[in-house]
Structure 1
Amino acid sequence: MTPTQDKVTYGRLIGASLGPGDPGLITRRAWEALHSGARWIYPVKKAEERSYALDIVCRAGLELPADIEPLVFPMTRDATILAKAWARAAARTLELLAEGRDLVFLVEGDASTFATFSHLARAVREITPEVEVETIAGVSSFSAAAACVGKALAEEDETIAVIPAAYGISVIDHLLDEFDTLILMKVKPLVDEIIELLEQRDLLATSCFIERVGAPDQRVVTDLASLKGQCVNYLSLMLVQNPKRARGELRRGCRKRKEAVA
């Protein structure tokens, strides 16, 4: 840096978790960030598309700032397209932060759980490490879903696993024997296959499907067989509990081994 150059003072990049759909689940800390005077940015899959995260703050009754801006993160597995999109998003984010003003990135659900924000923050800091990043924790879709249907995800020594359904039926089948509760995220592409597996395992009665939890068009389905052949929303998940598994088996086994060593 030459003597005539001024050092850039970057604003903070803030990931504001908004919860999965119900504006009542926006935390006080996220609410304060939204009212802090920071500029807002939000993710979309393609230009001119409506943002689910933006819908949440609209339902909360907040007025959208005039300078709010979308960032495009395309839904594709093409590595070249993704790399270019992430580079553009990180570069634009840095341009805005270089104005010295804090930047609030609107995040549906929780910013640390299957969220775009962590990837964006990492990409930004790889370019400019001095950028300060704050992540505001929020309510995850699966915890809200469990509360919605009155299910406990885990009690005492029970275990839970959270996985994208895209890992495949064989992995899901294996994990049903390893965990008391299985949370399957993004089930849209494999709904029929998952239902067939649960039928084979006699687990339909202890499983449920939740779509767009907390949103006005939320849908809860306990008769999973009725979903066969249906096109479901991307924002959907399944909660699967296996009562046939020895509850808390892993923890009890660890305790016994510890006692034997002692």
Structure 2
Amino acid sequence: MSEPTRYGRLIGASLGPGDPELITRRAWAVLQSGARWLYPVKKAEESSYALSIVERGGLTVPADAEQLLFPMTRDPEILGRAWVFAAERTVALLGEGRDLVFLVEGDASTFATFGHLARVVRELVPVIEVETIPGVSSFAAAAAAADTVLAEEDETFAIIPAAYGVELIDHLLDEFDTLALLKVKPLIDEIIELLARRELLTSSMFIEKVGSPDERIVRDVASLKGEKVNYLSLMLVQNPKRLRGELRRGCRQRRGASAAALAAVDPASRP
């Protein structure tokens, strides 16, 4: 009777948005642990942005590192074949008993390929152990690079892919103090027109390839109209004129409520 297969672990190593100095100590250790590297590409034999982050950090790519293809298409048939191959190949490699570390740009839990890959792998072989190492997200790094904040005290903050369209973005501007609009490339002109109508151009900024040598921060977002921007770009939009409703929960308490609460637990404090 043959022994059951001993599978290695599947580890999603978040690398941050581009600056290798933002790689966490945990991810850095895993990259040098002897685990086999997997990294995503959009086209066969194309360069990998995730791989470039660790290369700029000074690590040598192992000779047995392997790419997995995740094509940039909405064709369900093409996507389906690619996902099935990636998951089956990952399971086959894990079946050798060696850990695999999948390189993830940004954070592995936020709009990342790794979550879907890990889910399909566990559907194929439920006993496979998965570890996700968190990392710095692109919008957090962008706010730091642009010397701004995403939210303070009781302010609200939303993260959405810009592909949902300007109608939804327009609605959310009334619901949130700050919006992080991801992957703005296809709708950049429409978003700029919306911000102009809402008089929010001066409280918006565009950040491209944050943390990389090609990082670009544009505060005059109107100047981008008609320009072809990089896929790895986002916008931070703040609405300082947003009307807020009554805060029902939060850190702040009304003075009257605080005094009443104190009196309830300490009768000596009552007037």
1:5 aligns to 2:7 (yes or no): no
Alignment of 1:204-219 (within 5 A): 204-219=201-216
1:15 aligns to 2:9 (yes or no): no
Counterpart of 1:138 (choices 116, 131, 135) is: 135
Task: Report percent identity of matched pairs.
Answer: 70
Alignment of 1:1-262 (within 5 A): 4-246=1-243, 249-250=244-245, 252-254=247-249
SS in 2 for 1:252: coil
TM norm structure 1 = 0.94
Q: Which consecutive unaligned segments of at least 5 residues does structure 1 have? A: none
CA distance in 1, matches of 2:85, 2:142: 34
TM norm structure 2 = 0.91
CA distance in 1, matches of 2:33, 2:245: 46
Which has more radius of gyration?
A: 2
SS in 2 for 1:184: strand
Note the C-alpha offset of 1:54.
0.4
For 1:3-41, what per-residue CA distance to the aligned partner results, in whole angstroms no more than 9, with x for missing partners?
A: x22200100000000000000000000001001000000
Runs of 4+ in structure 1 deviating by more than 3 angstroms, as ranges, are: 253-256
Note the C-alpha offset of 1:229.
0.6
* Count of matched residue positions in the alignment of Structure 1 and Structure 2: 253
CA distance in 2, matches of 1:44, 1:80: 18
For 1:129-172, what per-residue CA distance to the aligned partner results, in whole angstroms no more than 9, with x for missing partners?
A: 10000000000000000000111100000000000000001000
Q: Which consecutive unaligned segments of at least 5 residues does structure 2 have? A: 262-271
Task: Tell me, yes or no, if the aligned pair for 1:157 and 1:251 is still in contact at 8 Å.
Answer: no
CA distance in 2, matches of 1:239, 1:186: 12
For the structure 1 residues 88 and 251, does the alpha-carbon distance in structure 2 shift closer, same or farther, using more than 3 Å as the test? farther
CA distance in 1, matches of 2:154, 2:51: 38
CA distance in 1, matches of 2:248, 2:128: 45
